[in-house]
Structure 1
Amino acid sequence: MDIFKTTNGAVRGFRASDDIVAVLGIPYAAPPFGSHRFREPAPAEAWTGVRDCTAFGPIAPQSAELPGSPAWSPGDEDVLTVNVWTPSPDGGSLPVLVWIHGGAYAFGSSAQPDLDGEALARAGLVVVTLNYRVGFEGFGHVPPTGGVVLPDNRGLLDQVAALRWVRENIAAFGGDPDNVTAAGHSAGAASIACLMVMDRARGLFHRAIAHSPAGIHYPLDVAAATTREVAAAAGCPATPEGLASAAPEVLLAASDRVVEEYRRDPASGSRHYDPSLYAPVLDGDVLPVDPLTGLAAGAGRDVDLLVCHTTEEYWLLDAVGSSAKVTTEEQLARFAEDFGLPEGLLDGYRTALPDAPVLDVYLAVFGDLLFGEYAHRLVERHARGGGRVFRSLFDRRRTGPHGTVRAWHCADVPFAFGNVDKECVTFLIGGAPTAADHDLARRMVAAWAGFAAGGDPGWPPYDAVRGQSKVWRTDECDAHDVPAAPRELWARAEFPLLRP
């Protein structure tokens, strides 16, 4: 039976395969436009009859066009939807995994082919993916004016609304609402860390998986300054009324212009290197505290956490041209100054990478700054706060036609989803998957399924004494084989990373 009853009405899915039913594009909140724009997500309207849910819903406003994924166009409004894959359409009570996509809080969607939940569902999970507001619509600060106060972190509030939908509806799809794992990658992983310290999300999930969490959060003054820049580029006042008068596509184009200005100006500070305008705002309300501080104080101690990052994160950002090139010692020194890196850190990396060109030293430092070191600190702070946490590293490499294929950002996701055969991941993994790649994917899927089912991914939890990690490779090498990043060099670096 491929018809399911939700709190808003009945939905019809389809057989993705003989043993898996997929139900796509189910609204979990009202379209966030018109009177709902820049506000907390409102309940979705109910419908009569059976709603056909056999295709993904439209994606949130964004200018990016990702391979194999749909593009957004003005007029696409029903963007707050979830998708479900279930191996148990006739009942049961299976563990649930809810996935939050990445994309620098500015792009991405649940319709990306590498996020197909069929393989994970076949491993015994009910899999849910979701869309949420990104860019200015989701994370832009709207200054309070004339008594009008609009919430920050609307993208996080969308994620909370989707998790509430799961709690209220997932039993109809064979899932257990009391056994929910929230998972995500990059901005999605950092969103998970935020949800762990948010009162609004408390009790909505019981375990968490964070792959390559990005350690950027903005205080209100930085978020407000960004709004002024975007509003000026859009030709509108930086007020609730002025910003609402600018259509989503106008704010998108304005954001892109501001980003391009940072890219072109080497003197523009830290945003020159990776000009991400949007991130969770430390507003003291929706996000009361940065995740590192909150977790260390025990805010998420009841949630088991699994953290993973790749060993060569930033090489992908360089390969796709989203990061400034740093190829001289002078540029490298300026980079360190712009980010306020501790004295001696660059020298430590040069010692650890004695024959590496300047670009590789820069990429290694930047990857640890944004992802690797932040992931380490999430692990340590959660453990310090009394939580149970598991740490892992993705270090899979191969030799391709153009040289070594690195263990870079995003490369772990198709393995964990079991989607290494998807055409859209060929670039990420360096060609067609080998038998060893399929074996690695099976092991990573099993680890996620085991963790989601009962909190056991297959290796011991982290403790401060042993500091053990699982290393994902095609040859199952021992964790101690991985060259350790010079972590002691980061001891004096302040996190969260506050830019610019």
Structure 2
Amino acid sequence: MTSVFDTVSGRVRGRAPDRGVVAVLGIPYAEPPFGADRFREPRPRRAWEGVRDCVEYGPVAPQSAELPGAPRWSPGDEDVLGLNVWTPARGSGAENRLLPVLVWIHGGAYTFGSSAQPDFDGTALARAGLVVVTLNYRVGFEGFGHVPAEGDDVCPPNRGLLDQIAALEWVRDNIASFGGAPDQVTVAGQSAGATSVACLMTMDGARGLFRRAIAHSAVGPVFAPELAEDLTRKVATEAGIAATHAALAAASPQALVQASDAVVDGFRQDVHSGRLSWDPVIFGPVADGHLLRADPLELIAAGAAPDIDLLVCHTTQEYWLMDAVGSCAEITSEEELVCFATDFGLPDSLAAGYRRLVPEATVRDVHLAVYGDLSFGEYSNRLAVAHARTGGRTFLSRFARQRGGSGPRVYAWHCADIPFAFGNLAAESVQFLIGGPPTPADHRLSDRMVAAWAGFAAEGDPGWEPADDIVSPGVIKVWGTADPDAGPDFWQDGEALRALWSAFTYRPEQP
């Protein structure tokens, strides 16, 4: 049984079939984005001779993160624009027809993460009848930092998004060799990956490369150009260089990673730095007016993508994860809660409205609930509503599975839904996210979520009714049930919760 496949750049050999699925890992889809190509649009991969062994994940993009079960970036790693394919083995009954394709874009605050994380293994989804692609793209300064023009020499913003488009072009040109249908592609992502998906829905360069989209816990809004420019100046100052094209290009990727981390730490320690003091994210897509004309929420509301089917999900306790890993400032007093609301321009009535929904909630609980909905829940809901109102076929769901018991409480927090949707509950690296070894009920929930993704990618039908233009409660799928001992559930009255946000408007982040 062969595991060799043709691509436009050359032949590749994957791993031996495992459970009826062949994994082909670390396929380069573009040239290494360094040297003369640094801070540039990705260039197509040059051809190679012979058969290239693709049995291990490729290098990850420059970053300082060390994620459980995933490879680290090592200074000197440059061939970072690679992707992975999982496809049913030939002879498994799928060889006579092309299968729907799901392309996954990882999250990580546009600063860290990779396609090699164990929770993104595509085996279970391939067994459900998909060809699965996961990809690396430039993150941090390499992918999203502002690089000033030097004469006529202009480095594009949103290079990470351009990498994603290049990977989708590779899928269009090559995926049939792996048994995938190039005209039946679903692009999916979570967190920064979900907002990347929303951006791609509106970008001219991605037009026609996919027909469906899945966005879990989209985070918004994107950056204004002025903020990206201001943050570049801060990173350059920390690196001890000028904020010029020449100086930034001469700085090593490691130096810019270290300087970026130092800027983040500085914001955390400065309580007077406004929004960025709470949980600083200093890179992200930029509404530059050209590649990305505006925030994707605004563009989708204006009817930018009515022909793309959209499946949206968010978790009901997003920010409890950030509290658990210590990435956000801790709030314990009403005065701090007022300061938080002021820094983010939130209506005065918002926190009080949350407290009315769950009177027993602590100040900490209210803060985490508001912050999670501000960053993920409400932004995701508005994407769904905006798309439905412009005629786009839209499905909305919420992940509410919690876990109490004798161990530490595990909430329906950020990232917890993804191992369920990928069918990877047994991976040791996800035990923290889901609260220990999975139960039989967890496996049943995972099976349903895998089937929903597979059904949506194949037929545009995840198994429940599409949303109307107001997203009535009856058309929202809820995954799992809340353990009453696991924590406050503000989303028990979703209509009342969403009404609290009616006076708030998302705008691109300014300095």
TM range (shorter): over 0.9
Please, which of 341, 357, 361 is the counterpart of residue 352 of structure 1? 357
Q: Is it true that 1:238 corresponds to 2:243 in the alignment?
A: yes
Please, which of 262, 278, 282 is the counterpart of residue 277 of structure 1? 282
Preserved CA contact (<8 Å) 1:88 1:173: no
Report what 1:493 is aligned to: 504
Distance, in Å, in 1 between the alignment partners of 2:444 and 2:289 is: 45
Preserved CA contact (<8 Å) 2:408 2:435: no
Q: Deviation at 1:18?
A: 3.8
Equivalent AA in structure 2 for residue 492 of structure 1: A
Q: Aligned runs of 1:28-107 on 2, under 5 Å?
A: 28-89=29-90, 90=95, 92-107=97-112
Identity of aligned residues (%): 62
Distance 1:13-1:91 versus aligned 2 partners, 3 A rule: farther
Q: Deviations over 1:241-266 (max 9, x none)?
A: 11001100000000000000011111
Greater Cα offset, 2-11 or 291-300: 291-300
Preserved CA contact (<8 Å) 1:91 1:173: no
Matched residue of 2:391: which SS?
coil
Q: Deviations over 1:169-224 (max 9, x none)?
A: 00000000000000000000000000000000000000000000011311111110
Q: Aligned runs of 1:38-437 on 2, under 5 Å?
A: 38-89=39-90, 90=95, 92-437=97-442
Report what 2:477 is aligned to: 470
Equivalent AA in structure 1 for residue 110 of structure 2: Y
Distance, in Å, in 1 between the alignment partners of 2:159 and 2:280 is: 21
Distance, in Å, in 2 between the alignment partners of 1:74 and 1:233 is: 19
Preserved CA contact (<8 Å) 2:137 2:143: yes
Distance, in Å, in 2 between the alignment partners of 1:354 and 1:403 is: 23
Preserved CA contact (<8 Å) 2:402 2:482: no
Q: Deviation at 1:231?
A: 0.5
Distance, in Å, in 2 between the alignment partners of 1:199 and 1:367 is: 31
Please, which of 434, 451, 464 is the counterpart of residue 459 of structure 1? 464
Distance, in Å, in 1 between the alignment partners of 2:17 and 2:480 is: 30
Equivalent AA in structure 2 for residue 388 of structure 1: R
Q: Deviation at 1:15?
A: 2.5
Q: Deviation at 1:499?
A: 4.8
List alignment gaps of at least 5 residues for structure 2. 484-489
Report what 1:482 is aligned to: 492
Distance 1:499-1:407 versus aligned 2 partners, 3 A rule: farther
Distance, in Å, in 2 between the alignment partners of 1:430 and 1:497 is: 35
Q: Deviations over 1:381-415 (max 9, x none)?
A: 11122211000000001214334321000000000
Matched residue of 1:486: which SS?
helix
What do you get for the CA RMSD once the two structures are aligned?
Answer: 1.7
Preserved CA contact (<8 Å) 2:25 2:57: yes
Greater Cα offset, 292-301 or 56-65: 292-301
Equivalent AA in structure 2 for residue 482 of structure 1: Q
Distance, in Å, in 2 between the alignment partners of 1:494 and 1:481 is: 20
Q: Deviation at 1:91?
A: 5.3
Please, which of 431, 439, 443 is the counterpart of residue 444 of structure 2? 439
Distance 1:301-1:311 versus aligned 2 partners, 3 A rule: same
Equivalent AA in structure 1 for residue 343 of structure 2: D
Matched residue of 2:26: which SS?
strand
Preserved CA contact (<8 Å) 2:305 2:392: yes
Preserved CA contact (<8 Å) 2:316 2:491: no
Preserved CA contact (<8 Å) 1:437 1:474: no
Q: Which portions of structure 1, spanning 4 or more consecutive aligned residues, are displaced by more than 4 angstroms?
A: none
Q: Deviations over 1:103-153 (max 9, x none)?
A: 000000000001000000000000000000000000001122322211000
Q: Deviations over 1:7-54 (max 9, x none)?
A: 000000012414100000000000000001000001111100000000
Report what 2:487 is aligned to: none
Q: Is it true that 1:21 corresponds to 2:32 in the alignment?
A: no
Distance, in Å, in 2 between the alignment partners of 1:394 and 1:475 is: 10
Distance 1:410-1:234 versus aligned 2 partners, 3 A rule: same
Distance, in Å, in 2 between the alignment partners of 1:406 and 1:21 is: 34
Matched residue of 1:226: which SS?
helix
Q: Deviation at 1:490?
A: 1.1
Matched residue of 1:262: which SS?
helix
- Figure out how many residues of one structure are paired with residues of the other and give that number: 499
Equivalent AA in structure 1 for residue 504 of structure 2: A
Matched residue of 2:493: which SS?
coil
Matched residue of 1:181: which SS?
strand
Equivalent AA in structure 2 for residue 77 of structure 1: E
Q: Deviation at 1:285?
A: 1.4
Q: Deviation at 1:351?
A: 1.2
Distance, in Å, in 1 between the alignment partners of 2:427 and 2:268 is: 32
Distance, in Å, in 2 between the alignment partners of 1:125 and 1:496 is: 37
